[in-house]
Amino acid sequence: MRHDGRNPQQLRKVTLQTNVFHYPEGSVVIRFGNTIVSCSVTIEAEVPSFLQGTGTGELIAQYHMFPRATRKRNMETPVEDTMIIQHLIERSLRAVVDLEKLGERSIVMDCDVLQADGGLQAASITGAFVALRLAVDTLLQKKVLQEDPINEPVVSVNVGLFPEGVYVDLDEKEEKFALAKMNLVMTESGKFIEIQGRGVGSTFDGEQLNEMLFYGKSAMEQLILEQKSVMFKPLQQERGEPLKTIIIATRNTGKAQEFKTMFGRAGYEVKTLADYPELPDVEETGSTFEENARLKAETIAYLLNQPVLADDSGLKVDALGGMPGIYSARFAGEHKSDAGNNAKLLYELTDVPDEKRTAQFHCTLVFAASGKESLVVEAQWSGRIGRIPKGENGFGYDPLFIPNDSTKTAAEMSSEEKNKMSHRGQAMAKLSQKWQKWLEGER
């Protein structure tokens, strides 16, 4: 336990108050424990002279600490410290904003520290993004902007190494005694923008570096959820969803049709992400089917405070060490194409004999709801990979997948036949036996 009673990898209490001030286009007061930072966004319909006529916008950050933000009154924060944090805020936000989509407009971000107790950079960047998101949403609603210039959320946290191990979100007292310190900035997709690390009268090895990165990344994933919970709180309040609603984490309404039958029998209304166009896509940064399904289900359940069912499925080929696996949809590249994926699969298996072309379709379903441990079911459909695509009644790898005890590919089967045998059908059958008791309790 730390001096304030937290566990080593536990964040301080984080709160974000939105639209606090009347005049800025977006404003947030963020608290990391006793650290309080005011973040305000001004959007101006002009750019510096060197950008005029380019059609590109500008993003500028200003950072300031109030004189009595610290234990003793300070008339001035050292200019060097101010500029370092100011430039970090600018770099962090610019990394997730397409300034060309902004047009010739300037975003001016003011981050003012009202009270300092460690983690000033982390609080400033995390709060600044929410203020920016609110400001841009206003321009989109007013049709001032035709395209959203923001690519994804960004957050920051500080991490420290101590004799007892790694702590995240250090307060002022802990910052003074850390053997090594890191400031991390990361996007929702798990990509780092900034990694600042240094030993403080000490050294650290590669294993300790990886540990700091790992726990820092986990803490930042929690911060992204905090951001989203306030950015989408109006959505929850306005919609006032009925109690008996279940959301399927897909924008494909056809894919959710089979679930509507299952849940409809129990009196539940089923919706999909197509009913929530304001919600952003959840980045699938997990390394397993379950991790990706959990990310989708638990994130959306947290944001909407409704039960959410998500799935992650794919093809595992034994001769390829389980690939394409979680990368099934983008095996041939980021631009999803069934034909491209099938062509790549056949190429990879060119010299593999028929008896070694075994494979399994895998499906993981994760059902998440507030206050409950998520329900997880899995199923597999075993078979082998053919040499020529056959059949029209399917998608993905169906034209190449020949189930065990069959001479037909999955794409040559009728929908009814396939649904009884498939990995998805098996997983749904398992789910049908468990979900209602899990969601509603003993019956």
312 is in an annotated binding site: yes
Please state, in angstroms and rounded to a whole number, the distance separating the CA atoms of residues 388 and 349. 12
Question: Is 364 among the annotated ligand-binding positions?
Answer: no
Say if residue 397 carries a ligand binding annotation.
Answer: yes
Q: How do beta strands 26-32 and 58-65 pair?
A: unpaired
Query: In angstroms, what CA-CA distances link 412 with 53, 349, 415?
Result: 58, 21, 9
12 is in an annotated binding site: no
C-alpha dist (Å) from residue 390 to 35, 89, 110, 266, 325: 62, 54, 60, 39, 22
The answer to the question of whether 398 is labelled as a binding residue is yes
Residue 38 labelled as part of a binding site: no
Active site residue 405: no
10 DSSP assignment: P
Determine the Cα–Cα distance for residues 350 and 347; give it in Å rounded to an integer.
5
Calculate ∠ Cα 161-163-167, nearest 5°: 40
Rounded Cα–Cα distance for residues 118 and 33 (Å): 9
Q: How many helices (H) and strands (E) does the chain have?
A: 11, 15
Backbone φ and ψ for 410, nearest 5 degrees, come out as: -60, -30
Is 396 annotated to bind a ligand? Reply is yes
Question: Cα(277)–Cα(257) distance, rounded to whole angstroms?
Answer: 19
Token digits for 21?
Answer: 């001030």
Q: Is 100 annotated as a binding residue?
A: no
Tell me whether strands 154-162 and 58-65 are parallel, antiparallel or unpaired: unpaired
Name the active-site residue from 148, 312, 351, 405. Answer: 312
404 is in an annotated binding site: no
Q: Is 118 annotated as a binding residue?
A: no
Pairing of strands 58-65, 35-44: unpaired
110 labelled binding-site residue? no
| DSSP H or E stretch at residue 359 | strand 358-368
Neighbours of 198 (CB within 10 A): 11
**Which tokens hold the place of 61?**
């950050």
Residue 401 has φ and ψ, to the nearest 5°, of -90, 120
| Token pair 């849940």 in the structure block, residue | 263
* Residues 158, 213 contacting (CB under 8 angstroms): no
Q: Sheet containing 358-368: give its strands across.
A: 269-272, 245-248, 308-317, 358-368, 375-385, 401-403
Residue 252 known to bind ligand: yes
CA neighbor of 29 nearest in space, from 94, 89, 99, 110: 110
Annotated binding site for substrate: 250-255, 313, 395-398, 418, 423-424
Annotated binding site: 250-255, 283, 312-313, 395-398, 418, 423-424
Annotated binding site for Mg(2+): 283, 312
> What residues are annotated to the active site?
312
